[in-house]
Chains A and B, each alone.
Chain A
Amino acid sequence: MSALPKAKLDATQARLAALSAPEAPGWTGPARNAALERVETLGLPAPRDEYWRFTRPASLVQAEAPAAEVYTSSDTPIFDGIDRVKLVFVDGVFDAGASDDPALAGVTIERLQAAQTTDIHWARDLYGTLEARGQTPVARPLAALNTAFATDGVLIHVTGRAERPVSLIYLHESETSDAYLHHVVKLEAGAEMTLLENGPGAARMNMVMEVELADRAAFHHVRAQGRDHQRRAATHVFARLGSESTFKSFTVTMNGVMTRNECVLELTGDNATAHVAGAALGDGDFHHDDTVFVTHDAVNCESRQVFKKVLRNGATGVFQGKILVKPGAQKTDGYQISQSLLLDGDSQFLAKPELEIYADDVACSHGSTSGAIDETGLFYLRSRGIPEGPATDLLTLAFLAEAVQEIEDGALQEEVLDRLRGWLERRRH
């Protein structure tokens, strides 16, 4: 740790001093110790770090979570119309009373806190493993910090086709809560499941999810981050894909002064497919960062990154996306698009799209744009009798469509569209 610059060293030590490791880590102990060493070696993110050029890490790193007012509303929460197995966490602590009985054919669901003390566990070889792999070539110290200090989470083992989605609901009730949740999902060959996540979770939430997909497995992930405007979140999703497996993740983010969502995907089996997409709508002091790293290390794989951000009143959107094609990863089909719709002149979008290719028979494309509402289109809609507000919303939804269409399930897509429409309508007056 001594090799770190002084400011970084001090900040890292201050953060570590305020955290305590679980008393009975069981089989997660070695992984937690190794992760702690990683944090000490790497240091926590600091303002001058290249990977944090567009996002100030201070509020995610400082010892105390900045207070976040709890938002109360009578609105129906998202996914309410979906038949699912609900698992509820309040400020980062599992609430068995509020959760469904986690019985689902083809799926075993356990709480990390309880399962880590059992003698033998399937998650032993996975907990912290994908996170550790994801530390190169770019360090993600907040994820290592999570592995070391996670207090709760779920371990999901999927052996068949889950007939209902598993839904993680994150409630926020304390203004100063600081949550560390770590989930591990393992899908056996040919297994299939949908995982939903929603809610702010805490004043500050650090979430890590590691997803291991065996051959022909399929994992669908739809996440909604929203509501409490002052909440902060740093999330990491790590996934490793086997042959012919499919990984699809979509996140909608509305409100939140600080969100950093990292997604680190490794395609290690031939003919795998990985899609990661996001729609973010920000108003005022909203700061949203999508950081994606996709590594192609097998033949004939397809990856897609589709990120769209609607920004107004000085909101900031960030996108850092990379496609790395390793030697031998021939026939790779990689696509990346990041776009922002700036509804006024005060908002900004910062993007850093990257391709790094070491194979010669690949098709990779990327694009990044920033623009305002198309005035000609707006006039066309208005000339047909659609008032300016609804016409602007229609064009905004059209802008987001490419990302939202990444959600395969029609009912889930509709749930998300509903939220987007609501957000736009509330801001029309």
Chain B
Amino acid sequence: MLEIKNLHVKLEEEDKQILKGVDLTVEAGKVHAIMGPNGSGKSTLSYVLSGRDGYEVTEGAATLDGTDLLELEPEERAAAGLFLAFQYPVEIPGVGNMTFLRTAVNAQRKARGQDELSATEFLKVIREKAKALKIDAEMLKRPVNVGFSGGEKKRNEILQMAMLEPKMCILDETDSGLDVDAMKLVADGVNALRDEGRAFLVITHYQRLLDHIKPDVVHIMSDGRIVKTGGPELALEVETNGYADFLEEA
């Protein structure tokens, strides 16, 4: 589904290479995790894939089901089925959460040549999905993420994911700032979306999120490269010994 080949990325503003040849293939139906220390390039990878400004791809390729992602605008990548759950969800004062979600869902439907959802249809779907994530009507009415707690913001990200039904979901440190209960709620939301046609790339520092969202494959990233790939046991190894061993290997 997602194929990244020899991806080299530098910051546009300064001559600093962040990704130095990332190779990664995520198959449909699978959950891959990327772990790594701060500054290893994990978040950069998620931003480059979703099309944020400020990065320059100097070499390599990234495709989603054969479509060249790097050629597309952020909204086209979203319509193609890519979703990024932000590490720091953005507050947008003045835009109601519900309006935002409906605009997004309908923009994607339009881009795919589908009919837009009516207000009633949309309401029916969102109520059901919000309920599962314990998001109440009040939170749906409020401006996007404004005054939300850390946990509420992350649940809101998962609600967006559930509404947009992407095929490739990237979760960037979704566990940061969450207590155990909130993490469980978020993980349940993610697990509910797991199916044959959908893949996940879970970026995290810690193994604890992976207790709740069980990965099929774990990658260790260091200094802009994937330095080791293995099964779920790799995460446990990190938890016990830290990253030092892998860094030395690299």
Contacts and interface: CB of A to CB of B under 8 A. Distances in A.
A386 B74 CA distance: 9
A387 B164 CA distance: 15
B108 A385 contact: yes
Nearest to B161: A384
A376 interface: yes
Contacts of A379: 51-53, 74, 90
B94 A386 contact: no
Contacts of B73: 382, 387-388
Most buried by A among B51, B75, B86, B108: B75
Contact of A395 (B79, B84, B92, B104): B92
Interface residues of A, number: 22
Interface string B78-114: 1100011010011111110001100111011001000
A384 B94 contact: no
Contact of B103 (A386, A399, A402): A386
Nearest to A376: B90
A389 to B, nearest CB: 10
Interface in A374-426: 375-377, 379-388, 390-391, 394-395, 397-399, 401-402
B117 to A, nearest CB: 13
A402 B143 CA distance: 12
A393 to B, nearest CB: 10
A162 to B, nearest CB: 32
B75 A385 contact: yes
Contact of B92 (A375, A381, A383): A381
Interface in B109-168: 111, 143, 160, 164
Nearest to B101: A384
Contact of A384 (B52, B93, B143, B160): B160
Most buried by A among B89, B91, B103: B103
A391 B51 CA distance: 15
Interface in B46-77: 50-53, 73-75, 77
Most buried by B among A377, A383, A384: A384
Interface in A359-378: 375-377
Interface of A: 375-377, 379-388, 390-391, 394-395, 397-399, 401-402
17 contacts: A379-B53, A382-B73, A382-B75, A383-B74, A383-B86, A384-B100, A384-B104, A385-B78, A385-B107, A385-B108, A385-B164, A386-B103, A387-B73, A394-B95, A394-B103, A398-B92, A399-B94
Interface of B: 50-53, 73-75, 77-79, 83-84, 86, 89-95, 99-100, 103-105, 107-108, 111, 143, 160, 164
